[in-house]
Amino acid sequence: MDNPKTFILVFVAAIVALCLALWLTSSDETQTITVTVISNTLTQSLDGQRRYLTIESEESGIKRVAVPISTHCPKGALATFSQPTDSLFEQPLTFLSCE
């Protein structure tokens, strides 16, 4: 690829192909997931506090998810999350509620 025009043309074509693939697979649909809470962890650091829930579901196994600090979800409770569907990449879980 000694020719800069060829390099630029291939680069632009790759960007267009990537954008087209992401646009075609994007979706506004979300699914609601109910999982079991294994642990509720509050951490303290120099830049503030963070709260994490360790959850277990049949679909994704055990995960640690960041939730709002005000969330009080005891061990064994059922937590509800939403997650976008139909994507090339694994989408993050968004905390909805705890029962």
Contact 80, 71 (CB under 8 A): no
Let me know if residue 88 belongs to a domain.
Answer: yes
Q: Is the pLDDT of residue 89 over 80?
A: no
Sorting pLDDT into bands at 50, 70 and 90, what band is 87?
low
Q: How many domains does the chain have?
A: 1
Tokens read off for 95: 């905390």
Average pLDDT over residues 63-69: 93
- DSSP 8-state code for residue 46: T
Tokens read off for 66: 């960041």
Give the domain range for residue 50. 30-98
Let me know if residue 13 belongs to a domain.
Answer: no
Q: Which residues contact 87 (CB under 8 A, 6 or more apart)?
A: 25, 26, 27
* Per-residue pLDDT tens over the stretch 68-86: 999 889 999 999 999 887 6
Let me know if residue 54 belongs to a domain.
Answer: yes
Q: What is the CATH classification number for the domain harbouring 91?
A: 2.40.50
Let me know if residue 18 belongs to a domain.
Answer: no
Question: Nearest CA to 86 among 24, 15, 33, 34?
Answer: 24
Let me know if residue 15 belongs to a domain.
Answer: no
Question: Distances in Å between the alpha carbon of 33 and those of 12, 23, 47, 94?
Answer: 39, 25, 31, 10
Let me know if residue 16 belongs to a domain.
Answer: no
Average pLDDT over residues 50-77: 91
Let me know if residue 87 belongs to a domain.
Answer: yes
